[in-house]
């Protein structure tokens, strides 16, 4: 069925599609940077121009799907489906498959400078660093990147939310690798995050509570440079195996944060804007106060070490306009900052909390949710 819309001479097309095909379309369109309606339009045009025959698509257990298609094209498509004796939803599914096959998943770019490095930071706790780190990593893995999430917070929230046990304090850990106390290879500590959508491309380096002592150990190091470079040196052994490394930072401004910021810097020979920071905030005043402190630390580190750290931008998390003037006015203030800009707004919905409760990745638990789509949009905007 369709509903006429005169605004852009398109019809709203409502039908049913297999959930897997609909999700593949959503992911591929986001990865390629094309609106879903334009992808479907291109697919329908290709279907009309191709004589066939087409491979039948299993449309059983389909769910509702809607988009907009140019009116004339839509009418021609309906007539062609009838002439070819193809059910309408089968024809549309075939058209979408044509577009997907013509727009294959892009292969991640690997450079001599190493993987793309994304550091998610804000010295204020509770703003959603873990949710953004986790969701963005999942979206990148879903899109075809091989991704490592580093849980750099001794509170271990990211590790626990994925249903993974933190590393035992008496065993090996990232902190011990950073301070020269390791007893095994860091690669042995990596844990694969299960999920059909990730296809073995998503891994986590679990946290350990020994990282609470990291700042004290780094400050007493005799090597001046190790105070900022220990994280990069520790991760060097594993990062070459990944396209993207995402670091979920602790809420602090100590040497651990300096290490994370240094890791996010633009390396020699690396294109500017490829690696850098995502800063989660909330639409309230304490986030702004915390950001000012983080910004001072970033600028001080850049000046002291003569490095450049790129800002991807702010993610305003847990936004709810029903909170009234405080939330709406704070959002406007974040949006008024041109550099860095707000790259996404994550609304305060139940899906992320439910995923945490059942200890599953958001994109496995609620792959068609609004929050999952926002994570895909963040991934699309930062992907190299």
pLDDT digits (tens, 9 = 90+) for 229-257: 999 999 999 999 999 999 999 988 888 99
Domain end residue (candidates: 76, 102, 128): 102
Q: Which pLDDT score is estimated for 1?
A: 41
Distance CA 297, CA 293 (A): 6
Q: Which pLDDT score is estimated for 3?
A: 39
Q: Do 269 and 131 fall within a single domain?
A: yes
On whether residue 109 sits in a domain, the answer given is no
Token code pair at residue 306: 């003569």
DSSP 8-state secondary structure symbol assigned to residue 169 = T
Q: Which pLDDT score is estimated for 168?
A: 94
Domain end residue (candidates: 57, 75, 102): 102
Q: Do 82 and 149 fall within a single domain?
A: no
On whether residue 111 sits in a domain, the answer given is no
On whether residue 54 sits in a domain, the answer given is yes
Q: Do 60 and 128 fall within a single domain?
A: no
Q: Which pLDDT score is estimated for 222?
A: 57
DSSP 8-state secondary structure symbol assigned to residue 275 = S
Query: Is 245:194 a contact under the CB 8 Å cutoff?
Result: no
Segments of the chain with pLDDT less than 50: 1-7
Q: Do 155 and 97 fall within a single domain?
A: no
On whether residue 107 sits in a domain, the answer given is no
Q: Do 172 and 291 fall within a single domain?
A: yes
On whether residue 110 sits in a domain, the answer given is no
Pairing of strands 244-248, 202-205: unpaired
What length does the chain have? 384
Burial grade of 371 (CB within 10 A; 0-12, 13-18, 19 or more): buried
List the CATH number of the domain containing 237. Answer: 3.40.50.300
Pairing of strands 147-151, 116-120: unpaired
Distance CA 126, CA 317 (A): 10
Q: Do 254 and 338 fall within a single domain?
A: yes
Nearest to 318 by CA among 348, 341, 354, 340: 348
Angular region, 278: left φ>0, alpha ψ -120 to 50, beta rest: beta
On whether residue 13 sits in a domain, the answer given is yes
Q: Do 86 and 220 fall within a single domain?
A: no
When divided into structural domains, the chain yields a total of 2
Distances in whole angstroms, Cα of residue 224 to Cα of each of 175, 183, 230, 255: 17, 24, 11, 12
Run of H or E including 233: helix 226-239
Nearest to 44 by CA among 20, 17, 78, 5: 78
Distance CA 258, CA 252 (A): 10
On whether residue 142 sits in a domain, the answer given is yes
DSSP 8-state secondary structure symbol assigned to residue 111 = B
Token code pair at residue 48: 């009309």
Q: Summarize pLDDT for 253-292 with one digit per residue, the tens.
A: 888 999 999 999 999 999 999 999 999 999 988 888 888 9
Q: Do 81 and 169 fall within a single domain?
A: no
Neighbours of 126 (CB within 10 A): 14
Q: Do 245 and 287 fall within a single domain?
A: yes
Q: Which pLDDT score is estimated for 99?
A: 96
Distance CA 320, CA 346 (A): 9
Domain coverage including residue 152? 116-382
Whole-structure pTM value:
0.87
Query: Is 64:14 a contact under the CB 8 Å cutoff?
Result: yes
On whether residue 253 sits in a domain, the answer given is yes
Q: Do 42 and 147 fall within a single domain?
A: no
Strand ranges (E), the chain: 2-5, 10-18, 62-70, 116-120, 147-151, 191-192, 202-205, 244-248, 276-281, 311-319, 342-347
DSSP 8-state secondary structure symbol assigned to residue 147 = E
Q: Do 212 and 250 fall within a single domain?
A: yes
Domain end residue (candidates: 69, 102, 135): 102
Give Cβ neighbours of residue 172 (< 8 Å, ≥ 6 apart).
Answer: 182, 183, 184, 186, 188, 189
Q: Do 44 and 162 fall within a single domain?
A: no
């Amino acid at each position: 069925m369709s509903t006429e819309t005169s605004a852009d001479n398109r019809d709203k097309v409502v039908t049913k599609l297999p959930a897997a095909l609909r999700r593949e379309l959503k992911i591929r369109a986001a990865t390629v940077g094309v609106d879903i309606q334009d992808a479907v339009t291109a697919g329908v045009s290709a279907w009309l121009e191709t004589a066939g025959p087409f491979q039948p698509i299993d449309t059983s257990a389909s769910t509702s799907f809607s988009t907009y298609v140019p009116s004339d094209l839509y009418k021609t498509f309906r007539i062609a489906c009838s002439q070819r004796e193809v059910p309408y939803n089968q024809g549309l599914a075939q058209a979408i498959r044509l577009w997907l096959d013509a727009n294959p998943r892009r292969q991640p770019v690997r450079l001599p400078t190493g993987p793309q490095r994304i550091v998610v930071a804000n010295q204020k706790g509770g703003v959603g660093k873990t949710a953004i780190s986790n969701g963005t990593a999942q979206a990148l893995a879903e899109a075809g990147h091989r991704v490592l999430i580093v849980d750099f917070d001794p509170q271990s929230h990211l590790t626990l939310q994925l249903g993974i046990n933190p590393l035992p304090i008496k065993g090996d850990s990232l902190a011990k690798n950073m301070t020269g106390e390791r007893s095994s290879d860091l690669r042995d500590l990596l844990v694969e995050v299960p999920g059909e959508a990730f296809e073995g491309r998503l891994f986590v380096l679990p946290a350990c509570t020994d990282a609470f002592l990291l700042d004290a150990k780094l400050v007493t190091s005799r090597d001046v440079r190790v105070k900022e470079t220990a994280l990069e040196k520790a991760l060097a052994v594993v990062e070459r195996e990944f396209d993207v490394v995402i670091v979920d930072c602790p809420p602090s401004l100590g040497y651990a944060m300096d290490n994370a910021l240094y890791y996010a810097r633009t390396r020699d020979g690396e294109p500017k804007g490829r690696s850098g920071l995502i800063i989660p905030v909330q639409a309230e005043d304490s986030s702004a106060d915390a950001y000012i402190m983080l910004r001072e630390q970033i600028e001080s580190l850049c000046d002291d070490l003569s490095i450049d750290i790129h800002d991807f931008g702010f993610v305003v998390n847990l936004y709810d306009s029903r909170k009234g003037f405080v939330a709406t006015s704070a959002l406007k203030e974040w949006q008024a900052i041109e550099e860095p800009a707000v790259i996404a707004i994550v609304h305060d919905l139940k899906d992320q909390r439910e995923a945490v409760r059942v200890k599953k990745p958001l994109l496995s638990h609620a792959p068609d949710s609004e929050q999952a789509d926002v994570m895909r949009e963040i991934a699309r905007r930062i992907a190299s």
